[in-house]
Structure 1
Amino acid sequence: MITRLAPLIAILASASSLASCSDAAPVQEPPLSEEALAAVENDPGAAKRPLAREIDHLFTNEGLGETRAVVLLHEGAIAAERYAPGYDADTRFVSWSMAKTVTAVMIGMLVADGRLELDAPAPVPAWQRPGDARSEITLRHLLQMRSGLDHTEAGPVPAESSEVRMLFLDGRDDMARWAEEQPLEAEPGERFEYSSNTTVILADIAARTLTDSEDPEVRRRAVADYLRSRLFEPLGMSSVVPEFDASGTLIGGSLIHATARDWARFADFLRNKGSYHGAQLVPRKWIEQMVTPSPKSPHYGFQAWLNRPTGEKDHPLVPERAPASLFAMIGHMGQYALVSPSQRVTLVRLGHSDAPERRAMLQQAADVLELYPEG
């Protein structure tokens, strides 16, 4: 009898063991550090501890690159703020291509002033000679990266890219002239091609609109004063330092410096459709056009990236995880200002990440955003 019961007892013992395994407590995450908790305000608009953990992951998870600063705004107020060692609230961070969105807002102000026309031929003197097909390029084409000019942002040989040549080699002293001299490789308006050269042309147009002088210092001062009085001072962006080339052209596609808080303030101003503390600094319609998909690029508007699917595997944002209304300023090597109007959230992450690290970092940023409901 004992012999017959032995297998049954073994089966029951095994089942009991499995049951006890299934009843085991879930694996506990490590406790949050004081630094992680201190980074989040008491009323951040989401659960504090989960938010602190997800922001902590931006700084501590492997494979994301180096996060140097995070500023999260909810309904215009700071919900969380954190810096890596060696960086703080007074550190100015280089924009890289986040500057393009600033340039687009400046152009929008000049259009609102009646000094530029969106669908008129772009006022570039070198293109106005009889028979020059570049005279068909409009301001809209430039804003949407559809100029048709032979601008290759990057390639297998860095020294041959239009961006590197303009910024550091033969175009560096007069970047706009170099960019404007390039021939057409496509009909204006027919093709999307992301290009820092294109944004420098927009910056040159702004300078020519604000002054007739060719004197580099006059050009520099005209643009700097306009940006300061019309945009940076009203927004309280006291840290901003724009860079200019030797000809006095704003390097509007790459080189504006500001603190993380000021980058967040500017991005949140876009979330509010150009309004700040009740003052409409640029028409709402302009901001709406900035975040409207281009006919040739559903993920790009006026110098701003959009969270719209493209059908391509490699997307600059996260359309599968974040609202379609989300848009972004994106800069070289991992500078991001993610703006989600439907969640009333703006997330700025500044740092240094290569391409695979940026893709992983964006997924972690999406984890932060998902803590906030839409509506």
Structure 2
Amino acid sequence: MKLRSHPLIALTLAATSLGSCGGPGPAEEPPLSAEALAAVTQNAGAPTKALAREVDDLFTMDGLGETRALIVMHDGKIAAERYSEGYDADTRFVSWSMAKTVTAMMIGQLVGDGLLRLDSPAPVPRWQRSGDPRADITLRHLLQMRSGLEHTEVGEPLYESSEVRMLFLEERDNMAGFATAQPPEAEPGEKFEYSSNTTVILADIAARALTDSSDPEARRLAVSDYLQARLFDPLGLTSMVPEFDRSGTLIGGSLMHADARDWAKLGELLRRKGSNRGEQLVPRSWVEEMVKPSPASSHYGLQTWLNRPNGEPQHPLFPDRAPHSAYSMIGHMGQYVFVSPEQGLTIVRLGHSNREEREAMLQQLADVIELYPVRGR
């Protein structure tokens, strides 16, 4: 005879079974919104819903600041793209210090053209006077932020910062004049000191390499035409707008404007080691040099931040959560073009986050990155 379970016995057994599991199971995640799902393409290279959720968190989680634009590129194709309210694919975003990496690309092109030399003394006229210790500063020293010049990026009070004085106060009309006039405080090459003034010196060197004229308009045209012909037009950067000061010097450390897709194209150019559709826009050897660690700072190359351990409690990226071969353009208040060649990734995050928010936001960005396997360069 077949025994039938009594309903009361079955209910009791079920309750006992649940109780023995040590409590309720994990809470179900809320369903994804249509906006979250629409941000991810069909061939994203990662689980669609997982990517949609991690991207959605960047826009909706508290404590991350405001993400205004995000693009995830995988193997050269858009895997995810999303904008917050008031921003879209046509919005130009300010680079802040991401411009430094673009300036380094231009310097690399000039080196490739034979107009500049990486390990020769930097061609700054005022440094060539007899007995001036700054004559030993090389182009490499400047690119790696180890010139030894007395530049203070963040000052207390704020108006005493070299950057603030140069960009916004009394020195804004002739930024390179101010930056090159600063005295040395250390031997060239001795220590790392991040400095927007240093990148303006590089931009001034670029202008001098391209024209003998001191006329501001001639200087501006020489640099803007070079960038347009050698980088912006070939790469299809239709939205890119660089700014210049009144002396015609590119504000190469801080002020370039472009939409998110154009920032992604620049990241992709680096991931492909300077090549675009079979044309070598930036010498391959130069891009490889850009992502080598400086002797004075393991997490900095040539105007480019590296995802390498630095032995310090603070790091601008996350070497514990992404390949050490990865690197990034980084701009003030949370602008990033992150490149991971071993994952085929370029990720653009643009927005507004303060220091505490950036730390949390970067961990959420790492959640996106970890969805993609490391597969070799």
* Alignment correspondent of 2:227: 227
* Alignment correspondent of 2:259: 259
Tell me the amino acid that sits aligned with residue 115 of structure 1: L
* Alignment correspondent of 1:314: 314
Secondary structure class of the residue paired with 2:131 = coil
In 2: Cα distance, 1:148 partner to 1:357 partner = 32
* Alignment correspondent of 2:331: 331
Contact 2:148 2:188 in 1 (8 A): yes
Q: How does 1:1-375 map to 2 (within 5 A)?
A: 16=16, 19=19, 21-22=21-22, 24-375=24-375
Q: CA deviation at 1:169?
A: 1.3
User: Which consecutive unaligned segments of at least 5 residues does structure 2 have?
Assistant: 1-11
1:245-275 Cα offsets, whole Å, 9 max, x none, are 0000000000000000000110111011001
- Figure out how many residues of one structure are paired with residues of the other and give that number: 364
1:54-75 Cα offsets, whole Å, 9 max, x none, are 0000000111000000011001
* Alignment correspondent of 1:5: none
Secondary structure class of the residue paired with 1:232 = helix
Tell me the amino acid that sits aligned with residue 189 of structure 1: G
Tell me the amino acid that sits aligned with residue 266 of structure 1: L
1:107-140 Cα offsets, whole Å, 9 max, x none, are 0000000000001000000100000000000000
Tell me the amino acid that sits aligned with residue 374 of structure 2: E
In 2: Cα distance, 1:208 partner to 1:280 partner = 24
Q: CA deviation at 1:346?
A: 0.5
Tell me the amino acid that sits aligned with residue 372 of structure 1: Y
1:266-319 Cα offsets, whole Å, 9 max, x none, are 011101100111111111110000000000000000000001111110100001
Q: CA deviation at 1:25?
A: 4.4
Q: CA deviation at 1:168?
A: 1.0
Secondary structure class of the residue paired with 1:42 = coil
List, as ranges, runs of 4+ consecutive aligned residues in structure 1 with deviation greater than 3 Å. Answer: 12-15, 17-25
- CA 1:331/1:13 → structure 2, altered by over 3 Å: closer, same or farther? same
Normalising by structure 1, we get a TM-score of 0.95
Tell me the amino acid that sits aligned with residue 337 of structure 1: V
Contact 2:155 2:162 in 1 (8 A): no
Q: CA deviation at 1:27?
A: 1.1
1:178-217 Cα offsets, whole Å, 9 max, x none, are 0000000000110100000000000000000000001100
In 2: Cα distance, 1:356 partner to 1:320 partner = 19
In 2: Cα distance, 1:153 partner to 1:268 partner = 29
Secondary structure class of the residue paired with 1:193 = coil
Percent pairwise identity: 69
Tell me the amino acid that sits aligned with residue 121 of structure 2: P
In 1: Cα distance, 2:160 partner to 2:138 partner = 27
- CA 1:14/1:85 → structure 2, altered by over 3 Å: closer, same or farther? closer
Tell me the amino acid that sits aligned with residue 361 of structure 1: M
* Alignment correspondent of 2:7: none
Q: CA deviation at 1:155?
A: 2.5
User: Which consecutive unaligned segments of at least 5 residues does structure 1 have?
Assistant: 1-11
Tell me the amino acid that sits aligned with residue 181 of structure 2: E
In 2: Cα distance, 1:157 partner to 1:293 partner = 32
In 1: Cα distance, 2:119 partner to 2:356 partner = 38
Tell me the amino acid that sits aligned with residue 343 of structure 1: Q
Tell me the amino acid that sits aligned with residue 214 of structure 2: E
Q: CA deviation at 1:14?
A: 12
Q: RMSD of aligned C-alpha atoms?
A: 1.4
Secondary structure class of the residue paired with 1:321 = coil
* Alignment correspondent of 1:9: none
Q: CA deviation at 1:30?
A: 0.4
Tell me the amino acid that sits aligned with residue 73 of structure 2: L
Q: CA deviation at 1:19?
A: 3.2
In 1: Cα distance, 2:263 partner to 2:279 partner = 19
Tell me the amino acid that sits aligned with residue 72 of structure 2: L
Tell me the amino acid that sits aligned with residue 123 of structure 2: P
Contact 2:328 2:338 in 1 (8 A): yes
In 1: Cα distance, 2:23 partner to 2:260 partner = 46
